A and B are shown apart, each in its own frame.
Chain A
């Protein structure tokens, strides 16, 4: 059974987001990594690039498919998880911690509040089945 940590916010496209010291950390959910299967490659955004909420900013490639990763909020990419270059399996092993993708300094820190709660996101996942 997939985990849905309640301290995170989610997109219906299976990204999670968390506000940490004014920066939004982004990754993909446990449900998403399980559906994708073994992750073999992650294409990360450029540091200092700007993005708007809903932009395709990264790509995750699994044994099954290539999937776009969308920016949950507007802002500037300030950090990427370079460990994923050599260890993409971290996305499967630790989707909510070591498998994070990138960090965005948001234009508006309160924008994260408009994203789905864990409970609402869980409903989205259940409806997919």
Chain B
């Protein structure tokens, strides 16, 4: 048996189909994955993401530590509690993980992936040796993400007046501590919403209040199609230690100028023709990870994440390729299927937004 989140009993009571996810017993769906997907696009849904690793950064030199650790520039943040998405790189420029860090002041708050927990903590502890910075894991906390066009309204009805007031002040990509909970306007779906980090023993009651407010429980299956439609990478599928952020559609999160972060030197010299692009299949069918991608009849790469998009009603994918063109296709069961190469995201706020990629 794997690790269990504080909401494991809630998932079981709802009849969720449970799967192993990075050593955790997590709900893949509570019935129909597609209905869950639509609930988030058109109303509101709640995800238990307590398997993710929350860490606190203590010490007087945390900003300096983060400036060395991360490819994105923590010193550019201007608002208190502002969130920053960044890659953490090896010396050779390969992506160790992607993460969110909040500019809360000490102790700073960071959330990293669960499958990379041990690797991340070892690496951060090693880098922190050169700074007045200590890393403290907060496994006593749960994380619930509430996402969808009606998410903020529904969350407001389930939290205290003080918490609701604090939440209403938040801008997109900003978080704040309020009465022992950290509420942030972040997410992994391309919809409005919040991620709430709270004491594990308070999570089941919050979950119940959300369900009473007609927020739908959403499993990891819909989480994956939602994030893919939103053009967001999944670590371990769309990028890993073998590729750089430039090869992973993450160039906008890398700030090189005047900085000396780990991996920066390698990024300056490492040559590559690889890029992560979006694919849309006009014909019927489903795109899936590891299908081969062709340009002008020549194999140029493979799909890293693929799915049937419930919003667009067609196959969509992220693919790492060495070439794009107007004549691209994906091989499915030995047959070539024409695809359009696009720039992610595919969907934002429930609407199709992708643009054709210029070759």
Residues of A within 8 A of B (CB): 37-38, 40-41, 43, 59, 61, 63-64, 66, 85, 92
How far is it, in angstroms, between the C-alpha of A92 and the C-alpha of B333 when the chains are bound?
24
User: Within B297-334, which residues are at the interface with A (CB < 8 Å)?
Assistant: 307-308, 333
Question: Which residues of A are found within 8 Å of B28, using beta-carbon distances?
Answer: 37
Query: Which residue of the partner chain A has the closest CB to B17?
Result: A37
Which of A37, A40, A61 has the most B CB atoms < 10 Å from its CB?
A40
Q: CB distance A37 to B285 under 8 Å?
A: no
Residue in contact with A66 in the complex, picked from B32, B221, B288, CB distance below 8 Å: B288
Contacts of B288 in A (CB 8 A): 66
Q: A59-B333, A63-B225, A63-B308 are in contact. Are A41 and B285 (CB under 8 A)?
A: yes
Give chain B residues whose Cβ lies under 8 Å from the Cβ of A37: 17, 28-29, 32-33, 221
A-B contact count (CB 8 A): 33
Please count how many residues in chain B sit with their CB below 8 Å of the partner chain's CB atoms: 15
9 contacting pairs across A/B (C-beta < 8 A): A38-B34, A41-B284, A41-B308, A61-B285, A61-B286, A63-B307, A64-B221, A66-B333, A85-B284
Q: Which residues of A contact B284 (CB under 8 A)?
A: 41, 85
The docked-state distance in angstroms from the alpha carbon of A40 to that of B286 is 8
Residues B29 and A66 in contact, CB atoms below 8 Å apart: no
User: In whole Å, how far is B21's beta carbon from the nearest beta carbon of chain A?
Assistant: 14
Q: How far, in angstroms, from A119 to B29 measured CA to CA in the complex? A: 29
Chain B residue with Cβ nearest A89: B34
Q: Which residue of A lies closest to B36 (CB)?
A: A38
B260-301 near A? 1/0 per residue, CB < 8 Å: 000000000000000000000000111010000000000000
Q: Which residues from chain A contact B286 at a C-beta distance below 8 Å?
A: 40-41, 61, 66
Docked-complex contact A63 and B33, CB < 8 angstroms: yes
Which residues of B sit under 8 angstroms from A85, Cβ to Cβ?
Answer: 284
Q: How far is the CB of A97 from chain B (nearest CB, A)?
A: 19
* B160 vs chain A, min Cβ distance (A): 37
Assuming the contacts A59-B333, A61-B308, asked whether A38 and B32 have C-beta atoms less than 8 A apart, the reply is yes
- Least CB distance, A122 to chain B, in whole angstroms: 20
Contacts of A43 in B (CB 8 A): 285
Residues of B within 8 A of A38 (CB): 32-34
B 224-248 contacts with A by CB, 8 A: 225
Question: Which of B34, B221, B225, B288 gathers the greatest number of chain A CB atoms within 10 Å?
Answer: B34
